[in-house]
Structure 1
């Protein structure tokens, strides 16, 4: 889920969720679950292939061979289910659900966190209410919300339900109070939204910036319109309609505690084949990523989205509603795919619809190809897993062949696009904004038609297929979520890069690499001085006591200033360490550090005032003037850096 993307090296990864309504029974061509191995392929499946061309009869062998490079090495376990024509043609668990207890993964039994795939259930519920005439996708959402519910809006422009679906409502990324390691901290959806409301930093409809808040806000609107808690609505209008008995969206799993008995243990990778057990994950804004369930239960949801002409939908009263749901609703350019009412479109051999999910220690991917009636469901109990979730999916659904435009076509030169960019999905307020400055997207021209994208030491190459549209031709799996990008150019300068999950914006001058280096140098100088100086003060104080020379008033104020600066450094080191150890924190847990910063800074300023007043009345040597002046300068540098990086917010 939008488990804070700051955990991943890249703010790309991604998630969204579908919800359902109506009271129709399971379609005639229901999902077959009697056999869960491709060894039991029906005769009717022989001769059929995946969209990429792999024969269904060879599917299990292909998947077995693919995952062996990752299971037990970079990934603890994975549950993989493949559907073709509403039939399971592969359902197989790989690796361990619990390493210590040697419990293998079982696609029918093992429970995983689905992460942001949960968002698709929100959008399903929204489309159900659209079908019932209760929601207009183009209406300002404030007409559905209590007056004054949103308090941090910067623009008067309406925010529509489509903006929430497309992640174009303009909200910054706010990560506090998103996830908790204890269910006791979970609050109601309404309280969670109020507690974690982000500032609106973009004009609605103009910038894609992935937002957990937007999805949960849409779910809250569903609550208001139906009079049901969202988890109750989901259970009644989605899970029951698709006969899902081993999945729950309840933030504490209180409605199906049996799932806890079969839940996989989540892991983080600490080195090759070295796995560390991770914290549990609970959220107040649970509609953005709290579903726990098995792979075959998620397969039932995927199957309900792909119907044959003669079938009716268990989720919608009209087939037209499902058709609309899966139709493109947003794209930044006619030559690239975009968003389909909350699904991300994928340009494979055939058009796909997909959504991934990430929590503290689980990664997942759901990919459907409606035209082929084909789906891939992959759930892992591994933090930040990409090679199986996205790499295997790509192998099964195939990639569109990238055709380079004719050489005589008038195409912009790639050098025009070179520069450094930062994700639009980012925090603008508070000290965590630093993180996003440390993982910029670097673009360099390979030749006049080809560019290379670089981030966190990883890279991928893209070729220009139409003016300012580039498609990936090779590179790291990390960039698979950005298979096609579009550059907005005005007067020869890039103003925005449109990409799935999050757009990218030019790095401001004040946050460019030269400035970052300058800030780093200043930080090293200031922190080093304030860490070493107390030791010098201690040594000097001992000498003065031995010689029975009491410290002057000016010396004492200087000592207070230095120790105050040292305390500020230690306070913020502890703050950073606490966030690194466990980033699932409420803002209330770190607010004390911000308050301490204010108090210590005030103490330091008072010390400086007294030093300046006393210094004017005291004869000082040049060395003393330099020493006291240096203390004041280093303290002000520290305060300046804390202001720049918003450690007072």
Structure 2
């Protein structure tokens, strides 16, 4: 199976490599700190129909997370699980601060949640949609008070629906999206005004994950509500839900300042504390929170906007937010208004990942089963750990039954030449030097031996896919796959233009000519510079 690590790495909200390290020689040691393992739900033997047995959930996380921390050299993690609107389990594992041997506590230790922040921003937007103050399909320029987007595609304006589904058509851009020091932060409104990315696709054409788009939506929240975004968030979500340990600002209140976990990187056989990402684009990635606070927010969404007597969305607005709003191809999963879809073992999952330099989080709801969880790790190995955890969770509580079979391969005659070639992630910069600083991920597609399958190559790993319906390919090995089926999207002339993954709805891989291959581009630049690589 293609590594899930690469999938969620594509979603990293503005992560900038190369931040200087303050290297500390620290010993890795693992501890488990229980916080809550109580429920008023009785034991239910059939975990597939109802996984909400606290002891069973606790046993699962107690087995999985410590193993992941050891495997991926991660100092600490925090997790909370919810069933039917109730917190059924939460726990901290390992250390928030190795030097001081401070354990992670799921109720009090803050973790940066990265792009999971976006779900708070989109919830703010949906509140204003609910009140009739924002029209999802209106030109967003009608809401912006002091600047506007250029009319790149006349008659095809960017709408809020485009922003929420990442289909505005923006190129990716990282310049000035982060800073090295909190003292260097400036207004995200100024960022959105002064660093408008190019529009490289007409709106509604294809998804391409955009931090700028989410941040722009927060500017619109300000302009429509008449209050600063942080104040709006506090008054309309954090206070109603009693989320006292959730903060948008990097300047934490005194009572929380000492509760933030350190972030680490595993260097030379030990975990060293390093500086985490500092986002100018705060509404896209700067929230810090505890697992238990995140569980309340998760429960509110699980119950269509209501939890503990508070209502942050009407039921119709919540249902609209959780429904599929766009797909790159009807044969694959899509993206909702903020959340994105995955299908594992036949279960529809709505989720969002979040990444900074050191923290890696996952927010998961399985609507039909009324369950979900939030998890966050404080080192880069968390990208792989959370991926493993999701697969293990679904495999443990929602396994395929004996009557559920893998789709059968169809008989294929002729050549796979129509599909072979180079495909490039469409989440990248198109017009500036940033293209070369962070070249887009590429995959090559080749015909397998005797034209029996397709072979997809990413980052040196090869995976075989068999055709299960015209233009739809499934991993030959079978079993759960977060990438899911691969689908080749064609234009009106029958030419393949995009490769779309069933479970990566926030971007697509665009077919590109041979001279776009990264190795060729890098070699050419080296030659022009008179250097070798």
TM-score range, shorter chain: 0.7 to 0.9
Q: Relative to structure 2, which stretch is displaced further, 89-98 or 301-310? A: 301-310
Aligned counterparts of 1:37 and 1:453: Cα–Cα separation in 2: 44
**TM superposition shift of 1:229:** 0.9
| 1:339 aligned counterpart, secondary structure | coil
Aligned counterparts of 1:37 and 1:147: Cα–Cα separation in 2: 48
Q: Which among 448, 467, 470 is matched to residue 467 of structure 1?
A: 470
Q: Relative to structure 2, which stretch is displaced further, 364-373 or 437-446? A: 437-446
| 1:346 aligned counterpart, secondary structure | strand
Aligned counterparts of 2:441 and 2:463: Cα–Cα separation in 1: 15
Residue 394 of structure 2 corresponds to residue 397 of structure 1:
yes
- Which residues in structure 2 correspond to 1:444-593 (within 5 Å)? 444-446=446-448, 450-472=453-475, 480=482, 482-490=483-491, 493-499=495-501, 500-512=505-517, 515-516=520-521, 519=524, 522-523=527-528, 526-527=530-531
The answer to whether the 8 Å contact 1:231/1:249 transfers is yes
Q: Pick closer, same or farther for the CA change 1:455–1:371 going to 2, 3 Å.
A: same
Q: Relative to structure 2, which stretch is displaced further, 323-332 or 434-443? A: 434-443
Aligned counterparts of 2:169 and 2:82: Cα–Cα separation in 1: 36
Number of the residue aligned with 1:57: 55
The answer to whether the 8 Å contact 2:167/2:207 transfers is yes
The answer to whether the 8 Å contact 2:362/2:386 transfers is yes
Residue 328 of structure 2 corresponds to residue 332 of structure 1:
yes
Using the size of structure 1 for normalisation, the TM-score is 0.70
| 1:64 aligned counterpart, secondary structure | helix
**TM superposition shift of 1:327:** 1.0
Number of the residue aligned with 2:76: 77
Number of the residue aligned with 1:67: 65
Number of the residue aligned with 1:630: none
Larger radius of gyration: 1
| Cα root mean square deviation, aligned | 3.3
**TM superposition shift of 1:459:** 4.3
Aligned counterparts of 1:150 and 1:310: Cα–Cα separation in 2: 35
Greater share of helix: 1
- Which residues in structure 2 correspond to 1:230-629 (within 5 Å)? 230-250=229-249, 252-254=250-252, 256-270=253-267, 274-307=270-303, 314-316=310-312, 318-348=314-344, 349-383=346-380, 385-398=382-395, 403-405=406-408, 407=410, 414-437=416-439, 439-446=441-448, 450-472=453-475, 480=482, 482-490=483-491, 493-499=495-501, 500-512=505-517, 515-516=520-521, 519=524, 522-523=527-528, 526-527=530-531
Greater share of strand: 2
Number of the residue aligned with 1:224: 223
- Which residues in structure 2 correspond to 1:9-28 (within 5 Å)? 12-14=10-12
Q: Relative to structure 2, which stretch is displaced further, 44-53 or 291-300? A: 44-53
The answer to whether the 8 Å contact 1:163/1:204 transfers is yes
User: How many corresponding residue pairs?
Assistant: 497
Q: Pick closer, same or farther for the CA change 1:189–1:431 going to 2, 3 Å.
A: closer
**TM superposition shift of 1:220:** 0.6
| 2:69 aligned counterpart, secondary structure | coil
The answer to whether the 8 Å contact 1:170/1:204 transfers is yes
Gaps of 5+ in 2: 15-33
Kindly provide the CA deviation profile for residues 245-298 of structure 1, in whole angstroms up to 9, marking residues without a partner as x: 100112x335x3432210000112335x53232213322211000110101101
